[in-house]
Amino acid sequence: MDNKEYYILLYYCYTKIENPEAFREEHHQLCLDLNLRGRVIVAEEGLNGTISGLKKDCEDYMEQVKSDERFATIEFKVDEHHEHAFQKLHVRYKPEIVHSDLATVDPLTRTGKYVEPHELKTMMEDENVVLVDMRSNYEHELGRFKGAITLDIDNFRDMPEKVSDLEAYKGKKVVTYCTGGIKCEKASAYLIEQGFEDVYQLHGGIIKYGLEQGGENFEGKCYVFDSRVAVDVNKVNPKVISKCYVCGTTSDHMVNCANSVCNRHVPICESCMEKMEGCCSDNCKSSPEKREWNMEGYYPTKLNGYNPYKDSKRLKKEKQSQ
């Protein structure tokens, strides 16, 4: 569809935020004023978000965020879309901007050296370079860099338990990567803590690499946390590496299982989607919790009276003054 009037923004910034709960309220109001939707996390350690909106609203948002000196260095990964990629807006305060359980790791103090996308293309030709995927199983099984090392983890917080699997690569240049770069800020720092000496991270992650370098040698699709579910990255030498969870045929049709209790993130080919009614197994197909399925395999949470202005203190004050 050519009529792409919306942007999807992916971003993060590690920076000190004093009184983050007060900042959350201000930032929530900013997003409301600009008609944005998505998920934003605020913590003492910084800001992390994925949001969508009309192009002009997103441009205003980026300008206002970057005008704050705390976020002057923030980099927005910008993709075009034909509609909102989210149904709701959530701006939340949390202890970390990405759940890692690495409270002692501070990317502002120490982290892996940045590798820009154009530099990675050259580094991948070096036999002394090892790429390590810091994402979860369902993400790297759908797509990953050619020859990359993957960790058997279901969540990023499980990463420290698997670092021992990388011991054989301590003498090499280790380049970590993830979707947008945020996980690698702490992952690369943690590797340094564990004795890895030559540690790098792909600046801006897979998404920036795709936008700036055409995604060469990224095999498969990249899982994203919005209504698109998965996106093409490689425009140079694309290759499908994932297989249908049901029948094993080659497929990159990434979906959520239609059984709401399961909700497994897996590739299921279109033939099996029809046969299994969007489910990943016969048990899920017969479950009373099976949703009305669709071929996209994306089932957003029902609105259930959702009100984006619920936590708006400005609105509350206006109502009180009336």
Catalytic residue among 178, 257, 272, 279: 178
The identity of residue 258, as a single letter, is A
The pLDDT of residue 76 is above 50 = yes
Checking if the pLDDT of 47 tops 70, the result is: yes
Class of the CATH-defined domain 113-221: alpha beta
Residue 1 pLDDT grade (very low, low, confident, very high; cuts 50, 70, 90) = very low
Residue 178 known to be catalytic: yes
Query: What is the overall mean pLDDT for the chain?
Result: 94
What does the alpha-carbon distance between residue 153 and residue 275 come to, in Å, rounded to a whole number? 30
Distance set, CA 14 to CA 101, 104, 107, 209, 312 (Å): 16, 14, 7, 20, 25
pTM of the entire predicted model = 0.92
**DSSP state, 302?**
P
Q: Is residue 130 scored above 80 in pLDDT?
A: yes
Average the pLDDT over each of 22-36, 74-88, 245-259, 294-308 and give the range with the smallest value: 294-308
The domain defined by 6-93 folds into: Alpha-Beta Plaits (3.30.70)
Query: What does the pLDDT read at residue 3?
Result: 82
Q: Spell out the domain ranges in the chain.
A: 6-93, 113-221, 242-300
Question: Hey, do 6-93 and 113-221 end up sharing a CATH topology, with the first three levels equal?
Answer: no
The Cα–Cα gap between 253 and 146 comes to 20
Residue 313, pLDDT score: 63
